[in-house]
Structure 1
């Protein structure tokens, strides 16, 4: 594969040119060489690196994490699997924590949605609004209101 212009690289990687520019400013992609007429030229290695970044993002890694992983990827001989695994395990714990938070949110919404009739009448006694306004626990919310 020959060198690519930024737009061609963006299309090949399925990202925008602005994304490529941003990754360059964040140090995730090396600065490209320029040809005689000033066009940036990216090597096939840059496409591989973009693919790496996109796969890591799809797993939830932050750009900071990805920078660390790229540093390990570039010089695998100088690093251990333990270093890589530490980053991946930290991300897994973070995702598990976020899933737990989302589950709590889902459960709370299920409770307040089940208590609200959703009818066309005034929201004066709406259990959802009352629960949000009064900061009551979900179990204490609006027993006996005519929803």
Structure 2
């Protein structure tokens, strides 16, 4: 069987992972450095393709890079017990449940905010805008906390 030799652009296209993200995973040492051609192009083999697919699948489950590192460590040590995998997944489930609860609170707050304005009127009289202009908005910290519009504390760059 011939060994796969694929350039970064083709790898990106095949696995639907941006080139910048692949480079980031290399920098973070999730992916080993690829072989280089005489023209200094990155060339990936089938093991790197499989590893990137694994990472992509973990990221699709919203796993952090540290969680992925641990899963890769266990994946690379097939003789080890899988209890560590189970614990990691259990912790991740707990995190997801917390995030869902926070999203429900956010939804409730948005619904309450929406009920504040029941008809079209001049923007200067809009109760929603008035509430958002207030110095105290009860759930204002929730969106940042759960990572809706800002990077989560659990997750770093590298979609």
Normalised by the size of structure 1, how large is the TM-score? 0.82
Alignment RMSD (CA, Å): 2.2
Q: Could you tell me which runs of 5 or more consecutive residues in structure 2 were left unpaired when the two chains were aligned.
A: 140-159
The separation in 2 between residues aligned to 1:74 and 1:84, in whole angstroms, is 12
Match of 2:134 in 1: 133
Match of 2:121 in 1: 120
The separation in 1 between residues aligned to 2:22 and 2:39, in whole angstroms, is 20
- The number of residues matched between the two structures is 137
The separation in 2 between residues aligned to 1:107 and 1:128, in whole angstroms, is 17
Greater share of residues in helix = 1
Match of 1:34 in 2: 36
The separation in 1 between residues aligned to 2:14 and 2:117, in whole angstroms, is 49
The separation in 2 between residues aligned to 1:26 and 1:42, in whole angstroms, is 17
Change in Cα spacing, 1:118 to 1:134, as seen in structure 2 (3 Å) is farther
Larger Rg: 1
The separation in 1 between residues aligned to 2:75 and 2:138, in whole angstroms, is 48
Normalised by the size of structure 2, how large is the TM-score? 0.76
Q: Does 1:10 align with 2:12?
A: yes
